[in-house]
Amino acid sequence: MRTHFAFHGGVHPPENKKQSTGLAIQIAPVPETLVIPLSQHIGAPAEPVVRVGDRVLKGQIIAEAVGRISVNVHASSSGVVEAIEPRPIPHTSGMEAPCVVIRTDGLDEWIDHKGLDDYRRLKKADLIDYIREHGIAGMGGAGFPTDVKLHLGDDHIVNTLILNAMECEPYITADDMLIRERAEEIVSGIEIMAHLLKPHHIIIGTEDNKPQALRALEKAVRASQLDIDIISVPTVYPSGGEKQLIKLMTGIEVPSGRIPADIGIVCQNVGTAKAIHDAVHHGIPLISRVVTLTGLALQHPHNMEARIGTPFETLLGAAEVIESALYRLVMGGPMMGFTVPHDQIPVIKTTNCILAATIEEMPPAPPANPCIRCGMCEQVCPAELLPQQLHWFAKGKEFEKAKNHNLFDCIECGACSYVCPSNIPLVQYYRFAKAEIRAEEAEQRKADHARKRFEARQERLEREQAEKELRRKQRAEEAAKMQAVKQDKLQRHAEVSETAAEPDAKALKTAAAVARTKLKKAQQALKSAQDKGLEGIEALQATVTELEQKAAAAQAALEQAEKGAQPAAQLDSKQLKTAAAVARTKLKQAEKALQQAQDSGEGDLTELQAKVTELTAKAAQAQTAFEAAESGVAPAAVDIAGLKEAMDSAAVKVEKARQALADSEANGSPAVEKMRAGVEKLEQKYQSAKSDFEVANQQGQSNGVDLEALKADMEQASDKVKKAEAALQTARENGSPAADKMAAGVDKLKGKYEEARQAWLAAGGVEAVAEAKVEVDPKALKQQVSIMRTKLKKAQTAVEAAEAGEGDLDLAASEFERLTALYEDAKQAWDAYEAEQNDKAAAQGIDLKQLKIDAALARAAVTKAERALDKARETQPDDLDGMEEALLAARQKAEQLNQTLSRFTD
């Protein structure tokens, strides 16, 4: 026997080992179900290779290793795979992790297995692979895959192989009993390890509280050819800690943050040695281990050879647990083991002890007193730390300081907590601090990463911006050139058609706008007053009426001025031509609609027919007017575009007024009568505007114009419109108050564009058919509708919030109305598109609408079925199959319909 060294500190808790050494190791019963976790150690979880329903044999691989730090998992008895699902695993958190659940059949039928004849003949790498395949992982602490440690010989020089037979934790006797009964097998396992690692020196370290085990070992070692030293040291906790063991055996310290192999030392547990022996000589994978069952809550404490995956319940039953006395169930020893919340936890490769303690045995820790820095913790710390300082730092969350005091060298052995007279849960403080530091570091890494990405993005955006700027400049230059050319042309054109001096139309327009704004404000004030039931409503109403009159007057003046300002003598045959063309197109469309309606037998036929007739008349009129103009008869020219604008705005006004009316009717507002009158008035106005427009339209005339200049005009206008629309869109999205104004601007621009286009068309421009027919993007339309709906919803919430007393109700309400209108627009566009598609489909003999409805119904059915199923799952989990089938059928139907539908919509 050799001398040994010593490490700092350590404690001597009562050993309590005798209780479980009275009996030899018993074979644990086969449980009904085995729950085998896929991850039983640090490193990657194994990947299951069996499926639910498969029959597996004892020793069969059920999950394969993934990556280097991972080992295979084997079935520990024969049976059928019942599930592969998350189950509670032995972990401090009590959380769940994926497990293979096997319903055993009681046959315990082995898969074919056979050991190696002579492992020395195999190549080292093959032998290590063989060990890895048999799922051998460290059976002491963290369950580190053994093959990784055996590979260490490749890039480290291994001087010393240390076998850990310390078992320093109180209560645990699994290794002790294993050595007593299987010492030869352990030594045989050591021989295999020595073959792989070729160490200069092999030491078995044990404590002097296991004399029987020591004798058995000595006997086995004498029989072995290897020169193995057995060193027995005085019992002190935690001599079984890897670092402490190395210090005890060799006097060398493992440098902080390094592994023992860095100093030429490999440590293995004796249980691991036995497992290697079983695998190499008998082909038995690691499917069972010795577990100590002890604690005062057990009537029959002893050691058992339990299958991996056996629930604690089975073992506790075998040890005759007194359920009522069980207070604390610990996996592992009392110093470093962790509590488990219930007994459905399975045995894993590192389960060396199940400690079922009563409340008297392990009472709850009394409330902690303040730390008095007595320094007892420091005297016992095997890592030579300053536990009390670490405690202060952890408590004050001064993690930097804690790190600087070598917090991460703490092995969490619990010696400090054990001796603390103030009963402070020191280890928990360190665990907390370590976890926080790790989380903080991870967060810091993430933040740095995010910063880098952010900076990269900024750079990219800047670059793009610069490129855009460059392109814009180039375009601007080109445009300037073009502008110069056009200016030239325009000037010439202007000289020809110089109009009479415009009366003060602008001023009138401003006045009208001002009047309108005032009116609006007054109306709003009135409305809010009405809502709130304030006094002085009459006065307000009077003001509103007055303002209405004023606004009407201003508008009238403006309209007159505009009419009067129109160049009287202009011949506008192109417009007439366009009008004629438009009328023709409309006629055609109407005819088509009629045709379809007749075919499908839907819609109001008479109305459509009437429309067609009307349009026919109009088209004829337009044609005649045009022809008349062509032939030189020039009636008084009218600004058709202006008229159209007036008509449109009138239409909008009517619409708005109608809505307001409907609202107030719904609200039972007292101003309904007045509003109704207003609506009527507006309608009249609209009618007159319409007739004006139509008359003008019919009287339009055309004239020969420079075709090219007109086209340029048109394109420019189109560009402007597009830009303006985009701007408007953004404005609306931002809820900018200027959106309304912009909308008006866009309308104007559109008008201009329309004018330009018509001018060009009239002048003989040929528009591509594809262009003429406005391309409708169904998806875009649908999105538009969707977007609008969302916005509307948002606005609604805003209104509700406002009603609840947060924020400005009026503002929210007006925003809501605006959005409603937008939504209506989008919806209409979509509906129109849909109608068109409908028609198309109708032509093919399929009623798209019906199809759509069917599809929607099918979808709804699916949803319903899903809900029902969910509910059923909660309430009566038995009868699910039927429902699942129904759901499947519904899904199929919906899918079919969707496909049919998509043929038409896309």
Partner 1 sequence: MNIILIAILALAGLAVAFGLLLGFAAVKFRVEGNPLVDQIDGLLPQTQCGQCGYPGCRPYAEAIAGGDAINKCPPGGQSTVEALADLLDVEAVPLEAGAEAEPVKMVAYIREDECIGCTKCIQACPVDAILGAAKQMHTVIESECTGCDLCVEPCPVDCIDMLPVQSGLSDWKWELPAPGVQQLIVTDRRGQLQGGAV
Partner 2 sequence: MALIRTSSPHLHKASSTGDVMRLVILACMPGLAAMTLFFGWGTLINVCWAILLAVGLEAAIVLIRKRPVSFYLKDYSVVVTALLLGLSLPPYAPWWITLVGILVAVVIAKHLYGGLGQNPFNPAMVAYALLLVSFPVEMTRWTQPFVLLGDADSWNILPFTDTLRVIFTGFEPVWLDNYTGATPLDAMRHRGGMTTEEAWLSKPVLADGIGAWHAVSAAYFMGGIFLIYRKVITYHVPMAMLGALAVIASVFYAFDPYDFADPYFHITVGGTMLGAFFIATDPVTCATSNRGKIWFGIGIGLLIYVIRGWGGYPDAVAFAVLLMNLAAPFIDQYTQPRTYGHAKANRGMKGGQ
Binding to partner 1 (CB under 8 A) within 134-163 occurs at: none
Min separation Cβ 785 and partner 1, Å = 10
Min separation Cβ 324 and partner 2, Å = 11
Residue 801 amino acid letter? A
Q: Candidates 227, 251, 282, 338: give the one binding partner 2 (CB under 8 A).
A: 338
Q: Candidates 3, 779, 804, 877: give the one binding partner 1 (CB under 8 A).
A: 779
Is 91 among the residues that bind partner 2 (CB under 8 A)? no
Nearer residue to partner 2 within complex by CB, 379 or 900: 379
Site for partner 2 in 151-180 (CB under 8 A): 170
Label residue 782 exposed, middle or buried (CB < 10 Å: 0-12, 13-18, 19+). middle
Binding mask 781-810 for partner 1 (x = CB under 8 A): --x--xx--xx-x-----------------
Please state whether beta strands 302-307 and 26-27 pair in parallel, antiparallel, or not at all (unpaired).
Answer: parallel
Q: Candidates 223, 251, 320, 369: give the one binding partner 2 (CB under 8 A).
A: 369
Is 861 among the residues that bind partner 2 (CB under 8 A)? no
Is 685 among the residues that bind partner 1 (CB under 8 A)? no
Angle formed by the axes of helices 174-197 and 211-223, nearest 10°: 30
Site for partner 2 in 285-324 (CB under 8 A): 323
Tell me which of partner 2, partner 1, none is bound by residue 124, counting a contact when its beta carbon lies within the kind-specific cut-off of 5 to 8 angstroms.
none
Angle formed by the axes of helices 809-843 and 778-803, nearest 10°: 150
Is 378 among the residues that bind partner 2 (CB under 8 A)? yes
- How many Å apart are CA 655 and CA 304, to the nearest integer? 87
Tell me which of partner 2, partner 1, none is bound by residue 243, counting a contact when its beta carbon lies within the kind-specific cut-off of 5 to 8 angstroms.
partner 2
3-state secondary structure of 253: coil
Site for partner 1 in 357-416 (CB under 8 A): 363-370, 394-395
Is 448 among the residues that bind partner 1 (CB under 8 A)? yes
Is 439 among the residues that bind partner 1 (CB under 8 A)? yes
Helices (H) and strands (E) in the chain — how many of each? Answer: 25, 17
Nearer residue to partner 1 within complex by CB, 5 or 454: 454
3-state secondary structure of 35: strand
- Residue 135 is given by DSSP the state T
Q: Candidates 102, 152, 187, 254: give the one binding partner 2 (CB under 8 A).
A: 254
Is 429 among the residues that bind partner 1 (CB under 8 A)? yes
Is 236 among the residues that bind partner 2 (CB under 8 A)? no
Pair of tokens at residue 710? 């007109």
On whether the CB atoms of residues 847 and 834 are closer than 8 A, the answer is no
Tell me which of partner 2, partner 1, none is bound by residue 419, counting a contact when its beta carbon lies within the kind-specific cut-off of 5 to 8 angstroms.
partner 2
Q: Candidates 91, 103, 489, 550: give the one binding partner 1 (CB under 8 A).
A: 91
- How many Å apart are CA 587 and CA 593, to the nearest integer? 10
Is 444 among the residues that bind partner 2 (CB under 8 A)? no
Q: Candidates 10, 13, 138, 285: give the one binding partner 2 (CB under 8 A).
A: 13
433-440 contact pairs (CB < 8 A, 24+): 433/390, 433/393, 433/394, 433/397, 433/399, 433/402, 433/407, 434/407, 434/408, 434/410, 436/397, 436/399, 437/399, 437/402, 437/403, 437/407, 437/408, 440/399
Count of chain residues binding partner 1 (CB under 8 A): 45
Burial code (b: 16+ CB inside 10 Å, e: under 16) for 853-864 equals ebbeebbebbee
Min separation Cβ 405 and partner 2, Å = 7
Is 458 among the residues that bind partner 1 (CB under 8 A)? yes
Nearer residue to partner 2 within complex by CB, 95 or 768: 95
- How far is the CA of 661 from the CAs of 490, 647, 679, 701, 812, in angstroms? 48, 21, 8, 41, 19
Pair of tokens at residue 49? 């290779």
Min separation Cβ 266 and partner 2, Å = 17
Tell me which of partner 2, partner 1, none is bound by residue 553, counting a contact when its beta carbon lies within the kind-specific cut-off of 5 to 8 angstroms.
none
> Per CB under 8 A, which region of 89-97, 210-218, 229-237, 598-606 contacts partner 1?
89-97
405, 409, 411, 415 alpha-carbon torsion, rounded to 10°: -40
Residues 6+ away with beta carbon under 8 Å from 28: 291, 304, 305, 306, 307, 310, 314, 315, 318
Q: Candidates 404, 684, 691, 729: give the one binding partner 2 (CB under 8 A).
A: 404
Q: Phi, psi (5° rounding) for residue 294? A: -150, 180
> Per CB under 8 A, which region of 133-141, 300-308, 428-436, 807-815 contacts partner 1?
428-436
Site for partner 2 in 412-441 (CB under 8 A): 412, 414-415, 417-423, 425, 427-428, 431
* Torsion sign, CA atoms 450, 454, 455, 460: positive
Nearer residue to partner 1 within complex by CB, 364 or 668: 364
Is 87 among the residues that bind partner 2 (CB under 8 A)? no
Q: Candidates 211, 375, 503, 737: give the one binding partner 2 (CB under 8 A).
A: 375
Nearer residue to partner 1 within complex by CB, 364 or 533: 364
Label residue 761 exposed, middle or buried (CB < 10 Å: 0-12, 13-18, 19+). buried
Tell me which of partner 1, partner 2, none is bound by residue 446, counting a contact when its beta carbon lies within the kind-specific cut-off of 5 to 8 angstroms.
partner 1
On whether the CB atoms of residues 407 and 437 are closer than 8 A, the answer is yes
Min separation Cβ 271 and partner 1, Å = 25
- How many Å apart are CA 451 and CA 221, to the nearest integer? 61
Min separation Cβ 122 and partner 1, Å = 36
> Per CB under 8 A, which region of 128-136, 256-264, 538-546, 673-681 contacts partner 2?
256-264
Is 674 among the residues that bind partner 2 (CB under 8 A)? no
Min separation Cβ 798 and partner 1, Å = 14
Pair of tokens at residue 396? 């004050």
Is 372 among the residues that bind partner 2 (CB under 8 A)? yes
Tell me which of partner 1, partner 2, none is bound by residue 255, counting a contact when its beta carbon lies within the kind-specific cut-off of 5 to 8 angstroms.
partner 2
Strand partners, 266: 161
> Per CB under 8 A, which region of 439-447, 647-655, 660-668, 757-765 contacts partner 1?
439-447
Is 242 among the residues that bind partner 2 (CB under 8 A)? no
Is 350 among the residues that bind partner 2 (CB under 8 A)? no
Is 423 among the residues that bind partner 1 (CB under 8 A)? yes
> Per CB under 8 A, which region of 399-407, 591-599, 858-866, 873-881 contacts partner 2?
399-407
- How many Å apart are CA 888 and CA 884, to the nearest integer? 6
Is 255 among the residues that bind partner 2 (CB under 8 A)? yes
> Per CB under 8 A, which region of 154-162, 179-187, 368-376, 685-693 contacts partner 2?
368-376
Least Cα distance to 301 among 282, 318, 284, 326 occurs for 318
> Per CB under 8 A, which region of 338-346, 443-451, 452-460, 641-649 contacts partner 2?
338-346
Please state whether beta strands 61-64 and 228-233 pair in parallel, antiparallel, or not at all (unpaired).
Answer: unpaired
- How many Å apart are CA 339 and CA 333, to the nearest integer? 10
Is 256 among the residues that bind partner 2 (CB under 8 A)? yes
Q: Phi, psi (5° rounding) for residue 27? A: -85, 125
On whether the CB atoms of residues 380 and 320 are closer than 8 A, the answer is no
**How many whole angstroms from its chain centre is CA 632?**
71
Is 883 among the residues that bind partner 1 (CB under 8 A)? no
- How many Å apart are CA 110 and CA 88, to the nearest integer? 27
Q: Which residues bind partner 1 (CB under 8 A)?
A: 91-93, 95, 97, 363-370, 394-395, 423-425, 428-429, 431-432, 435-436, 438-439, 443, 446-451, 453-454, 456-458, 779, 783, 786-787, 790-791, 793
